[in-house]
Structure 1
Amino acid sequence: MARLDGDPGGWRRVRYALGFRLPAENRDWVRHDLTDAGWRGRMVLRHLAIMVPVCVGLGSLPAQWWIRVMVGMLALVASTFTVVISADELRRSRLRQHGLDQ
């Protein structure tokens, strides 16, 4: 897949996934990311990239093994469900954050 103009590097992508605003030079990439076909899938993948390490961390807390697994799974399923059902609102907020109209 060809890189788009304004495609952020690795560090900026991590910051973007965490919810930070990208500089104006990445505005075209942000518009593409949030409006092109497949934006919901990319949003869920970004969420999973953040939440899987968090859930692994929750799974390493001291408790019986099944409690650790269930706590991690509960956090992952609940947060992913929340992202899926509120994807339109999250996208609108992200577009506003970057000064873009829908």
Structure 2
Amino acid sequence: MTMTRLPGDPGPLRRVRYALGFRLPPENREWVRHDLTDAGWRGRMLRRHVVLMVPVCLVFMLLPGAWWFGAAAGLLALAASALTVVIGAEDLRRSRLHRHGLPEP
């Protein structure tokens, strides 16, 4: 499977900023429109969130105590945050579309 680059595809640093909720510059507007309105937008949103949460969850492994306690806390944080993203996906999408000056589909 090959990844095709869309016009206005942001670089890696801009993608991280976008994943953290920041607005991208106008030259990335077409990419943002594709990301938030084309098929598979929910999966992309959840995948982006999980990738950002993995380092946060690994920090839980550093908690003092039994190893399983840190692992359980990390998994609980990941599951709870992923569920929150799934439940609020429509609102998150609407907010990002508004932030980038795009109409709702």
Amino acid at match of 2:29: R
Query: 1:55 matched to which residue of 2?
Result: 57
| 2:88 aligned partner | 86
TM-score when scaled to structure 2? Answer: 0.94
How much does 1:24 deviate?
0.5
Q: Which amino acid aligns with 1:98?
A: H
Q: Please state whether the residue corresponding to 2:23 is helix, strand or coil.
A: coil
Matched residues in 2 for 1:63 and 1:27: separation?
47
Aligned to 1:10: 12
Q: Distance in 1 between matches of 2:101 and 2:65?
A: 46
TM-score, structure 1 as length reference? 0.97
Unpaired runs of at least 5, structure 1: none
Q: Match of 1:57, as an amino acid?
A: V
Shift of 1:65: 1.1
Cα drift, residue 58 of structure 1 = 1.3
1:77 corresponds to which letter in structure 2? A
Q: Give the superposition deviation at 1:59.
A: 1.4
Corresponding residue for residue 47 of structure 2: 45
**CA–CA distance in structure 2, aligned partners of residues 21 and 58 of structure 1:** 29
Supply the AA of the counterpart residue of 1:45. R
1:63, CA displacement in angstroms? 1.9
How many angstroms does 1:80 deviate by? Answer: 0.2
Question: Cα offset for 1:99?
Answer: 0.8
Q: Which of 24, 27, 36 is the aligned partner of 2:26?
A: 24
Inter-partner Cα distance in structure 2 for 1:63 and 1:23: 45
1:68 aligns with 2:70: yes
